[in-house]
Amino acid sequence: MQAFVKKTLLLGILLGLWSILSAQETEQSPLEKVENQVEELSTSVGFLSKFKLSGYVQADFQGGQEKSKLKVGAAKSDEESTYMRMGIRRGRVKLTYSDKIANMATSGVFQVDITEKGIGLKDAYFMFTDPWINGISVKAGVFDRPFGNEISYSSSLRESPERSTGCLNLFPGERDLGAALIIQGPKNHPLNGLKLETGLFGGNGINQDNDNKKDWISHLSYKKSFDNVQFGLGASFYYGSVYQGNDTVFQMKDKEFILKHNDGLGNYSERMYYGGDAQLLISTGLGMTNLRVEVISGKQPGLKESSASPSTSALPQGKTYRRDFLSFVAYFIQDFGRHSIVLKYDQYDPNIQVAGNEIGKGGTTKGDIMKQNIGIGYLFRINAHLRLMGYFDWAMNETTSNLNGYEKDLYDNTFTCRLQYKF
């Protein structure tokens, strides 16, 4: 028994000594500890370097006539004739992640808009590019619709407070839920500058997909730069549909809306756009001269008093009115160092088959009124982050003696003073 106890005790002592010696062997010197900490820090820095945080804030002071609809602040009260408001028009925070996985360039983007009115999603998508020619990419999630130039032109760069009237009606919110294929000429290749974007989208903006139909959007563009000249050309196509939530559908014929039979509840109305865009940038002794134009025409299903595209998760419930439309916008910007003068003209005619006193007859309403805007602006780039804008928008609408309230031009001109900080 004593022998067994002695052996057990000896074994315990040996195990204890082994543990002590092992701990001594693994104990690090101060230099080794520092080296390990540096390695861990380098790993963390390498991971964080794949992320980029950016964004901008636009603080607006706006004044408008009695019929204007300002973009900041509360709506006009009954006691106010002209009215003024201030607020945050856009407060964008964007997080971008970039990496290479299996030698394939990948990225993810998440962007929100934060104002005093609340928080809203703007972008949430991923994209990866082939590792062989770096010319084919796939993009999926919530992002800009690939149509024309104005939609994808960032609000932080745009020389006017808002996009054109046509763009706001046809593409409310600019974004949509979908997936797109992007093919472009690789660098140092004769086809560099040529780009095709094509994809399928829900068709109702940043909202839950609500029907079985998907919209097809494509944009083919070419951009080229020379010593002091840059130009771009583009052509766009949109083919989709709008759900008919009512068994009554109207079609324009001989300047009036005619009831279209056997085409009602549960069916779809065709939605088709054709677009062309062009950009020209010239460097002269005065500074940069920038010219941009864009035109869109096509077929648009809408409601009786609105031709705006769907921008909600709910399916349309009202009667469907089919119209042929025309949209046009042109920019002229002249830089003088850090200063710029801006001229803008845009026109949106939701129904090109009627005009003037024809509106108000044959079932036509204010939803068929053509709108025009002439904008005059001034930009001052204070530094790399700050930009000051002053912009007057002269709004004009088509008049008709057959529609109450539209016998003369509406009092809806606006003035915007904007200070933007970009980071």
pLDDT tens figures, 81-140: 999 999 999 999 999 999 988 888 999 999 999 999 999 999 999 999 999 888 999 999
Provide φ and ψ at 12, rounded to 5°: -65, -40
> Among 64, 160, 85, 76, which residue's Cα sits nearest to residue 414?
64
- Cα–Cα distance measured from residue 229 to residue 336, given in angstroms and rounded to the nearest whole number: 17
CB 208 within 8 A of CB 194: no
pLDDT tens, position by position, 152-182 = 999 999 999 999 999 999 999 999 999 999 9
Residue carrying structure tokens 């010593």: 227
- Cα–Cα distance measured from residue 54 to residue 74, given in angstroms and rounded to the nearest whole number: 29
State if pTM tops 0.85: yes
pLDDT tens, position by position, 227-244 = 899 999 999 999 999 999
- The domains of the chain, with CATH numbers, are 53-422 (2.40.160.10)
- Cα–Cα distance measured from residue 312 to residue 316, given in angstroms and rounded to the nearest whole number: 9
Provide the token pair at 381.
């780039």
Query: What single DSSP character describes residue 260?
Result: P
Residues 6+ apart with CB under 8 A from 408: 399
CB 175 within 8 A of CB 188: no
Question: Once rounded to an integer, what is the mean pLDDT over residues 26-51?
Answer: 72
CB 183 within 8 A of CB 199: no
CB 310 within 8 A of CB 205: yes
- Cα–Cα distance measured from residue 279 to residue 314, given in angstroms and rounded to the nearest whole number: 37
Mean pLDDT of the chain: 91
